[in-house]
């Protein structure tokens, strides 16, 4: 029954609309459309939706919109991970659990990527597994 399906949002922040074209040596050559279609096939019992924005406030608005009714958010905040107190506060403000996701292993990269301002507000973090990081985060939310 559709009504029993968990509802999970995959939320992507800035520059992640360019996945597949953007620095393929780091982020791979798959587009997010391909990745999201694979997730839908993989999780037929989850009501998955997808939203991407390059705008910080739009990401916050989306968190507010889903954050009291959805069962989980898989959130790659991109570079806002390292800069945004406002996104940290938005995650704290909602009741839906949020899993922080990164495609790359940020700890193998520039030191400014080693700090996340949002981890403390999230349920957990998954990173470094390429596009498979999204799948792993959904698995974690399903187990809850
Ligand atoms: C990223 C890592 C961030 O440091 C970077 O700004 C991104 C993508 C990742 O998925 O590996 O945009 O979140």
Reading the block at residue 140, the tokens are 């974690």
One digit per residue, the tens of pLDDT, for the chain of length 144 reads 457 899 999 999 999 999 999 999 999 999 999 999 999 999 999 999 999 999 999 999 999 999 999 999 999 999 999 999 999 999 999 999 999 999 999 999 999 999 999 999 999 999 999 999 999 999 999 999
For the annotated catalytic residues, the residue numbers are: 27, 102
| Domain residue spans of the chain | 6-142
**Helix (H) and strand (E) counts in the chain:** 5, 5
Q: What is the pLDDT of residue 117?
A: 98
Contact of 32 with 51, CB cutoff 8 Å: no
Is the CB of 133 inside a 6 Å radius of any atom of ligand 1? Answer: no
Which numbered atom of ligand 1 lies nearest the CA of 102? 10
Ligand 1, atom 7, lies closest to the CA of 78
Torsion angles phi and psi, residue 123, rounded to 5: -65, -40
What is the Cα–Cα distance from 9 to 38, expressed in whole angstroms?
A: 15
Question: What pLDDT, on the 0 to 100 scale, is given for residue 86?
Answer: 98
> According to the model, what pLDDT value does residue 59 have?
99
**Degrees to nearest 5, angle at CA 128 with 130 and 15:** 60
Beta strand residue intervals within the chain, DSSP E: 6-12, 46-52, 72-76, 98-102, 124-127
Ligand 1 pocket, 15 CB below 6 A? yes
Fold (CATH) for 6-142:
Rossmann fold (3.40.50)
- For residue 81 and ligand 1, the question of a CB distance below 6 A is answered with yes
The end-to-end CA distance of the chain, in Å, is 20
Query: Which residues contact residue 135 at a Cβ distance below 8 angstroms, ignoring those fewer than 6 apart?
Result: 38, 39, 42
Work out which ligand 1 atom sits closest to the CA atom of 80. Answer: 6
From the alpha carbon of 133, which atom of ligand 1 is closest? Answer: 10
């Amino acid at each position: 029954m559709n009504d029993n399906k968990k509802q999970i949002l995959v939320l992507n922040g800035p520059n992640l609309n360019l996945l597949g074209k953007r620095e393929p040596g780091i982020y791979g050559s798959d587009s997010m459309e391909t990745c999201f279609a694979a997730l839908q096939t993989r999780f037929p019992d989850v009501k998955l939706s997808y939203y991407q924005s390059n705008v910080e406030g739009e990401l916050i608005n989306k968190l507010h919109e889903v954050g009291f009714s959805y069962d989980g958010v898989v959130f790659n905040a991109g570079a806002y991970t390292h800069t945004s107190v406002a996104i940290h506060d938005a995650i704290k403000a909602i009741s839906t659990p949020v899993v922080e996701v990164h495609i790359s292993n940020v700890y193998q990269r520039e030191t400014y990527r080693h700090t996340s301002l949002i981890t403390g507000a999230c349920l957990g973090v998954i990173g470094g597994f390429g596009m498979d990081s999204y799948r792993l985060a959904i698995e974690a939310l399903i187990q809850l």
